[in-house]
Amino acid sequence: MIATLTLNPAVDKTIRVPRLAIGAIQRPRESHLDPGGKGINVSRMADRLGWPTIAFGILAGQVGEIIAQTLDREGVQSYFVQVPGQTRLNVTLFDESTGRGTGFYDPGPPVGASSLRRLEKDVAPWLKVCPVVALAGSLPPDAEPTTYARYIRRARAAGARTILDTSGEPLRLGVESRPYLIKPNVAELEGLLERRLPDLAAIVEGAREIAATGVEIVVVSMGARGAVCVEGESVWLAIPPRVERRTTIGSGDSMVAGLAVAMARGESVVEGLRLGTAAGAATAMVPGTELGSAATVLRLLPEVRIERLEQVQPPSTDRSVSRASRDADRQRAGRADG
């Protein structure tokens, strides 16, 4: 079974308009309302791929009920701690004339230390029976940035392998606790390393630097360009099939689900990369914030190309993240995260 943890879930509302006119009444062409939150999406896609999963998290109010009811309707097992307030409602506005979207993301409600401790206690027994645990998404505004790092250490002690998909300070501290796999996008990896990664060689070098700190597998998602995967001295490039991409929301979560399912099956990272890339492409084809179907994933799977990048050389100097840069980034992330 795959366990997922979503401490700051959301309901995602996507609105598509032919042309955005600021200050005018808009007539949406499409409007979608879907449960969101990275870990929740991972569980939903893992379930569609036929693997048992349980979604853990924190919900609040009527907005949170939308998530719980959707998971019940889809048959996804879940356990949530209820807190006062309202779960986030995130709105993404797509302007079809430009092909660009603008997101409005709520910070989420404060959840309280007692609720976080209760959830951590309730999750603990499952770490012994779930070989793969995905920790994903942002943290509640009052949660300690070390929260994911604690889960990683507890999971490893229980024999579970962790996947971490977050950003900012929680990502940096999580990496220090050595999760089994991380899946940043390029911007998140740039933030972790505090420098630009302008091309494929730079992305590979950056992923190798993080792998050298003790992370077994680093997968860097690059949108329509695919993903880079580093495991030890091996580097692969996953090239997705050509599809009509209608959104990018949820594609990364679907990739994590594919990686998690392959890990739970005992398959190689290459097979996980193939399944995750197909799942991400399937979700990109669906409008709004809905996820791709299992049938579409299976149809796209043979079209995914995996290339080994033997020509990309490892970095010639030790450019691991210094303590000083970590401390500086922590201060910035503390001001900006949420």
Among candidate residues 158, 269, 149, the one with its CA nearest the CA of residue 217:
269
Q: Which listed residue (12, 253, 329, 337) is catalytic?
A: 253
Among candidate residues 93, 91, 102, the one with its CA nearest the CA of residue 28:
93
Distances (CA, A) of 156 to 106, 141, 167, 212, 220: 32, 26, 21, 18, 23
Amino acid at 161: R
CA atoms of 13 and 31, how far apart (whole Å)? 7
Distance from chain centroid for Cα 298: 21
Whether 106 is a known active-site residue: answer no
Query: Residue 73: is it exposed, middle or buried by C-beta count within 10 angstroms (0-12/13-18/19+)?
Result: exposed
Distance from chain centroid for Cα 124: 21
Let me know: does 271 contact 58? Beta carbons within 8 Å.
no
Helix (H) or strand (E) holding 269: helix 269-284
Please give the structure tokens belonging to residue 244: 């009509």
Q: Which residue has the tokens 């997101």?
A: 103
CA atoms of 152 and 214, how far apart (whole Å)? 13
Q: Which residues are designated catalytic? A: 253
